Structure formats: C-alpha cells, structure tokens
Amino acid sequence: MRNLKAQTTPFRTLVFIGQILFVLILLIIWLSWSDLRTSRSLWVLFFYSFPSEFLIAVVPHEPVLLYFAKFYLPLTVALIAATSTLLTESLNYSVFSYVSDWNILKKFQKKKTVNKIIDLFKRAPFLALWIAGLTPIPFYPFRFLVVMAHYPRWKYLLAVALSRTPRFFLLAWFGHEVHLSDEILIALFIILIVSMNLPFLRRLIRKKKPQKSEELTN
C-alpha cells in the first residue's frame, strides 16, 4: 500500500498542477486577446466556462451567455455552456480532493463550526446543490463542501447539470429576447467582476492598514 501511494502521489500532483495551468492559460488568452472576446464562435463559449467556473471564479459567466444568446438559440447556448461547466466542475472536484489531503485543511475540517456546516449539508445535499446552482447564491463554497462531506462525484455533477442547465437557458432566453447592447454587457461584466472580487479587495485593504499604522508609529 505504501508503494502504491508513493507512485500515485506524484501523478496526482502533476494532474493538479496541469489543471491549474490549463485554466490559467485559458484565462490569460481570454483577457489578452481582444478579437477573441468579440468572437461568435461557440468554441469560445465552451472554453470560457473553464475560467468562469473554476474554483473561485474571477470572471463572470452571465454577460458572455447574454452575448452569445444574441446570435444562437437559447437551448444551444445553454447546452454548450452546461457541457463545459460539467467538465470544469469535474476538475474542481479533483482539485479540491487533492487539496483536502493537505494537513492545514485537515485541521480546518476538524473545527466544530465546519463540522456543523458539513452535517447541515448532509441533511439534503442534492437539494442544497440544486438551489445554489440555480440561484445567484455563491456556488464556490459548495465545491469544497462536497469533498469534505465525501459526496459522490457523479451525484455532484448530476446536481450541477440539473441546476446550471435551466439557469443558463433562462439567461440565454433573456439575452435572445432582449438583445442587450455590447456597452451594457461590458458594464455588467465590470460590475460583476468588482462584486465577485470585493471580499478579497477588502481583505487586502485591511492587511495594508495595520502595516501603514505600524510604519507611522515607527
């Protein structure tokens, strides 16, 4: 058993690093290639789901779905986005499974508050995932929660499929019917990015304030 673990650990590490690099490369390409951001190719929609749904997403998916819905049927947009989202969530499950083996996170999982949240989730895991996937509730905590609760991957992906697909369809249907201008979509994109990353910006500001106060006292 020890030899088996020694052989599989480097492989898991390589897979973990490869997954992170894959999504980072896609994100860099998306942000640096202006022609790609205005492309109508469904391949762009497919690959965009990886950076927009990976771990704690830094870019929103809603404006892109609304954009593609102006040129394609809502069902087409929803199915393409849902397919790539399922692949991304499978990556998320693998990454969090790998990270959960770290000693720091093992200690974190032993906390009473965390155990209470896990126990609460276990009462109705599928329903909780379905509601979180369908509504604007932040979904990223559930990506780690399913791993901590040892929830099966296939059930997790099924919940994602049954919640994200109708959500994507409703967004695409709205975009197909309303045809929002590119300027409005860009503004929405910026607003969502700021709101998604606001908690992290607050933490950075709080960390910098004590440092400045210490410098002034010195």
The pLDDT mean for the chain works out to 79
Express as a percent the part of the chain with pLDDT over 90: 33
Report the pLDDT value the prediction gives residue 121, as an integer from 0 to 100. 92
Residue 201, both tokens: 């910006």
198-218 mean pLDDT:
57
177-192 mean pLDDT:
83
Among 151, 92, 152, 156, which Cα is nearest to 119's? 151
30-39, 67-76, 92-101, range with the lowest pLDDT: 30-39
pTM for the whole thing?
Answer: 0.75
